[in-house]
Amino acid sequence: MMRRFLFRSLQSVVTLLVVVIASFMLQKAAPGGPFDLEREIPPEARRALQQEWHLDQSNVAQLGHYLKGLTSWPPDMKHSMSRPDFTVAELIAPRLLVSLSLGFVVLGLSLAVGIVLGVWAAEKRNRPIDHALMVLALIGVSVPNFVIGPLLKWVFAMKLDLLPESRWAGPTSMVLPALSLSFLYIAIIARMVRGGLIEALSRDHVRAARARGFSERRLLLVHALPEALLPVVSWLGPALAGLAVGSVVIERVFDIPGLGNTLIDGAFNRDYTLVMGAVIVYSALLIAANFATDALVGLLDPRTRGHQ
């Protein structure tokens, strides 16, 4: 198990390094630069700015300077090019907290509702309620959040005036963004739980429990549900990372000061350091979440314990 841990740790570091290098080079390949938006900047001032940010050097040399900063502790992600009075870490930290708070609300809501609906559908499988729930789940998967978000905003904020339209101040301002993001995840979890339960109910140990006279409700919740939740646990890795930075579209729709909005603003301003910082944070969260869920699945699934 220790060898597997060390291998996954090395794999995570290499993956993050590849993402950093690829993101850096892709930014450099795009036309334009961070100071092209400046109006009537004197040539001397432009040269001074380029020297300060090493932009007068080759892309490989610039990458070397950037990677050298990341190897220090704490990692130096430089100052923002568009807001040089702030470091990238100072700009990202409060926005990451906003995205994390929204993301965990969405995750909790999605797990609670999705698991209940999945269990209900499996219990009523092949009945009208099961078909109705799966149709709703299919709609939830099919309709993108950039349609759901504006629709909820138009109905509950603009027409009914029940909730804030575009303000991030207090729990009520989370309701519409959280609902907009939750539809997809609720649908996915409900479908996975239903499918996992139906498959688990056909296992030999569940059949043996049924033969001993256990009720169908106990078979469903006690014997089959833990196994049915394993795919959900595996899915939580990428889902957690995606929720951590929130949906860029939803953050724009509801004017949420999260990491997704920061990434878009940095891209528009050609703020190389800010974009790189957001990409690094997102990638690190994704890698860490997948690492954690892989370990959790290994602990929960008895079939994999002997291989670790």
What does the pLDDT read at residue 35?
73
Indicate whether 114 pLDDT > 70: yes
What does the pLDDT read at residue 164?
86
**Residue 168, number of CB atoms within 10 A of its CB:** 17
Share of the chain above pLDDT 90, in %: 33
Tell me what the mean pLDDT of segment 215-231 comes to. Answer: 84
Indicate the pLDDT class of residue 301, thresholds 50, 70 and 90.
low
CB 274 within 8 A of CB 81: yes
User: Degrees (nearest 5) of the Cα angle 163, 264, 260?
Assistant: 50
What does the pLDDT read at residue 40?
67
Indicate whether 305 pLDDT > 60: no
Tell me what the mean pLDDT of segment 281-303 comes to. Answer: 77
What does the pLDDT read at residue 306?
47
Indicate whether 304 pLDDT > 60: no
User: Degrees (nearest 5) of the Cα angle 123, 195, 104?
Assistant: 95
What are the b/e assignments for 154-165, b being 16+ CB within 10 Å? eebbeeeeebbe
- In angstroms, the CA 302 to CA 99 distance is 35
Residue 27 CA, chain-centre distance (Å), reads 22
Q: What are phi and psi of 87, to 5 degrees?
A: -80, 160
- Here the tokens at position 35 are 């100071």
Q: What is the pLDDT of residues 139-198, one digit of tens each?
A: 988 888 889 999 999 999 899 988 888 778 778 889 999 999 999 999 999 999 999 998
What does the pLDDT read at residue 204?
82
CB 103 within 8 A of CB 240: yes
**DSSP symbol at 152:** H
**Residue 169, number of CB atoms within 10 A of its CB:** 7
User: Degrees (nearest 5) of the Cα angle 247, 34, 20?
Assistant: 55
Residues pairing with 87 in the sheet: 79
What does the pLDDT read at residue 290?
82
Structural domains of the chain sorted by starting position, each given as residue range(s) with its CATH number in brackets: 2-70 (no CATH), 96-305 (1.10.3720.10)
Q: Which residues contact 209 (CB under 8 A, 6 or more apart)?
A: 218, 219, 223
What does the pLDDT read at residue 37?
60
Top-confidence residue, 215 or 86: 86
Indicate the pLDDT class of residue 234, thresholds 50, 70 and 90.
confident
- For every residue of 121-189, DSSP letters joined together read HHHTTTSHHHHHHHHHHHHHHHS-HHHHHHHHIIIIIIIS--S-SS--SSTHHHHHHHHHHHHHHHHHH
Whole-number mean pLDDT of the chain?
A: 85
